[in-house]
């Protein structure tokens, strides 16, 4: 490439190069900067580069000048995203079951453009997709977009809803019939994306796994269930529902050894539960939950340091669940 053939792109190449090749731990001297620009077919005098650095500040790209010995170095300071923030976003992408492996890799590659090439290499350890369950539905991103569009336009949607069978194949629920519902919100729980929607057929607000929804289309009909959705507390959904499987709502009483208090604070939050001492090292509290097998399994998983003590009908239901479980092991 001949010198000066891309002069009109000088500012763009300079900003790109500084963002990619410099950070708080890596800087370039002016001769090195001019040498890098020449690789793009751009020649530049020092004064014009200084002027471009000043203009970059207007675009939110901070260029820091630092004297080390006899050399003067330049590097990008403040960025739109700090390295710690990018790492946090990468971790969120990695931990999301609803994002496929392919989409995870693509998104992480894009995230690396927010930091320098040196900082991006530190993300490489996180780019490896670990041995975990990931969605195989590549259309999940478009599903989310369709749902949000329907919500913004106050329209119903229809879709096919799927589940896994014993042969590890996705099969359509309801014999392949269309689901026609009114979407009201989306939430992220248990590392999956869920749609909150009103089902006119049985008059209830329900949750649907977005990655199990296919062939979504927006209908011309207006949404229904506004009153029911307003009465539905989305903020409590992930706290009261275990594994996002519904169950009958009940206020239960739980007793626990004090060392287990963090488990319940993490699950239900500080505002929704109050601990009452009942002994030297034990306490109890009450909270509303969706009573289901997943709730019982959650309790069993904490062992003898936790016990359900009320109400009586839920305690009996728990006993029957445990009895049936152990009888099935014979």
Q: What is the pLDDT of residue 1?
A: 47
Q: What is the pLDDT of residue 231?
A: 79
Q: What is the pLDDT of residue 238?
A: 56
DSSP one-letter code for 271: T
Residue 47 to residue 265: CA distance in whole angstroms: 59
At residue 44's C-alpha, the angle toward residues 42 and 47, to 5°, is 155
Q: List pLDDT tens digits, range 65-77.
A: 999 989 999 999 8
Q: What is the pLDDT of residue 131?
A: 45
For the whole model, what pTM was predicted? 0.55
Residue 324 to residue 330: CA distance in whole angstroms: 10
Residues of the chain with pLDDT under 50: 1-2, 126-132, 244
Q: List pLDDT tens digits, range 10-53.
A: 999 999 999 999 988 899 999 999 999 999 888 889 999 999 99
Q: What is the pLDDT of residue 273?
A: 80
Task: Give percent of the chain above pLDDT 70.
Answer: 85
């Amino acid at each position: 490439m001949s010198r000066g053939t891309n002069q009109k792109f000088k500012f763009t190449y300079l900003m790109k190069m500084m963002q990619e090749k410099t950070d708080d731990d890596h800087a370039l001297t002016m001769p090195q900067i001019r040498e890098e620009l020449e690789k793009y077919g751009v020649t530049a005098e020092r004064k014009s580069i200084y002027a471009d650095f000043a203009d970059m500040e207007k675009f939110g790209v901070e260029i820091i000048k630092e004297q080390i010995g006899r050399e003067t170095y330049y590097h990008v300071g403040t960025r739109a995203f700090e390295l710690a923030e990018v790492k946090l976003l990468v971790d969120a992408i990695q931990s999301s079951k609803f994002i496929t492996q392919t989409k995870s890799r693509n998104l992480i590659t894009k995230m690396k453009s927010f930091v320098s090439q040196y900082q991006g290499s530190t993300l490489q350890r996180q780019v490896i997709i670990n041995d975990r369950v990931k969605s195989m539905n590549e259309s999940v991103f478009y599903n989310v977009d369709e749902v949000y569009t329907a919500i913004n336009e106050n329209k119903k949607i229809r879709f096919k809803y799927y589940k896994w069978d014993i042969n590890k194949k996705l099969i359509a629920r309801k014999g392949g019939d269309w689901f026609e519902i009114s979407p009201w919100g989306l939430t992220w729980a248990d590392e999956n994306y869920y749609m909150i929607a009103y089902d006119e057929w049985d008059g209830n607000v329900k949750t649907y796994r977005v990655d199990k929804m296919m062939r979504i289309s927006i209908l011309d009909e207006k949404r229904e269930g506004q009153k029911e959705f307003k009465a539905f507390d989305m903020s409590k959904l992930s706290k009261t529902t275990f594994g996002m499987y519904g169950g009958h709502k009940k206020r239960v009483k739980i007793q626990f050894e004090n060392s287990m208090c963090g488990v319940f604070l993490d699950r239900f939050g500080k505002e929704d539960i109050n601990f009452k001492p009942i002994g030297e090292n034990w306490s109890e509290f009450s909270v509303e939950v969706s009573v289901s097998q997943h709730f019982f399994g959650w309790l069993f998983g904490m062992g003898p340091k936790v016990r359900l003590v009320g109400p009586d009908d839920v305690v009996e239901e728990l006993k029957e669940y445990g009895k049936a479980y152990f009888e099935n092991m014979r």
